[in-house]
Structure 1
């Protein structure tokens, strides 16, 4: 096991350096710049402020931020409880910038990129339970306003897991799920006027995390139903190659300067429905054991397991899946631990300096 440093008791949202990062802890937002400085309360509601002091309620009611990106040296976006928040931590100004559709608490990822004029843009795909098979849309940020730029027709997909930007060719790759017919990898041009399915119809095309490396889309599958793999998709021929089996489905990952980092998830058998799904401790067939595994992969170093920690005792569906949530930064590996026995509610760091 590598040497592990406990970076902070809390969830790091944006990491600039070991001497500068923004994090969430018990309903508060903080800036670390050598000292731990309170920025502001995330919660305006007194009842939620009280609940957010306790880990079990933060997990039960999904009170913690999920996705976050850096806009610049003083400003970040993050998602939480049905909104996108804009935080200027230099001026200590927190604003609700965008509200998600009813029934949606957060996308799995926010994707940022530069357009042809060099302007920073952010997009996300709608992620919600969608039991009725409704339309699913993609939104784009212009300034601090959000606009719908593409919509999948009703019954096409359940939801969007992630959108990967190919900066060399100015394309987007969209990951969708969850059933076989809904699972796929779609290719979109820069303005989303052309969106086409390039691979789909099986669980092997169900993914939440990927990165483009050497003209290949390297992605990890995300299925509780069958064996999971790290896959290489050739972006010229669209042929796939199985790089390796992995220990479970993958929701969260990040890219550093020289590798990708991702974590398997301990989650229930999705064949179990209703209230039983929330309280069961039965794993899905694709979840090989009760541990979450943190992997790294690069062309030179190949695939390796960095760390594994067992899921805690709480029911997985009700109190969130057991997993690491990696954060992108240089060559260091930084990850927040959710629902695991060790380093609970803590951001850890290892590798690099």
Structure 2
């Protein structure tokens, strides 16, 4: 049975990691465990549970700045800022439903470790674009700080960007300062039905290239509820501005048919479903997250359909393909070959059983020079290899 280390302070966390480094004892790093089924399985005798390292240190709504500890539940953070009429603009997805777990169990530290984002990434960026400052512990058992608590600061190397998305393999976040933004007054979604994938992505790309200031652009070949395809374009801002930009899209995309409109509540529900990939929840089929050039996604999907039964959701104007393998096989070789033949990109295996995640490269294999650079970075931050060993790459 795994031994659980549960620090309550930054010093206790540092001491636990320093002990692990001294004893050459690897640790699996978890918050509330909502993402343990992501990445390669980690085999360790000890778990470092950060769920007690929680709470808000500083929240200054007028300054749009929030400092909090890594174990703070993400759902509590979202409610806190929503009560002040603000939001996390990177719109972090909740992997719980997709992985067959309870929704709302993620922590801000887990979101940082995986660089979470949602449909608004095409406009607002991902988590790493919103981190101002970071306090963390390296695999050496040393506490370090980077950045600060103001929107504009330059303090040497941008360590938060390096650690954000490293899946807890370089350091353990203790606390972070992030910027928040005012929540938009109004939201509307422009809806076109019945378009093919090629037409849908074409319409999305036209909208993205327009003056409409699109904050969400997705195409669902089977719709959200298994009906006709839906091409969805989100507009946010002041009510009059949203109405004006909606009319701009009506004119620009008139050749694709008459649009429907979803206003604030219905629009919010729709984009939540897209953010959390809810059409693929309640299943056990392997799911891939594939990043491609937006215009290349229809060709990539078409290539796969020549030999596979797949279900897809196209987000980020086609640049993000959520792919479900309906026959229950992972098809990693076929997927990465099709990706290479249609312009390249990155494929990450998101949902699969443990045996598959051991045998298949979960993350896109890196070219040798980049892999060597990643190894040197790991050696600098975690020379004993005690932090989430093998989570991203076997033996690292």
Normalised TM-score (structure 1)? 0.32
> Which structure has greater strand proportion?
1
Which has the larger helix fraction? Answer: 2
Q: What TM-score do you get using the length of structure 2 for normalisation?
A: 0.29
Higher relative contact order (CA 8 A, sep 6+): 2
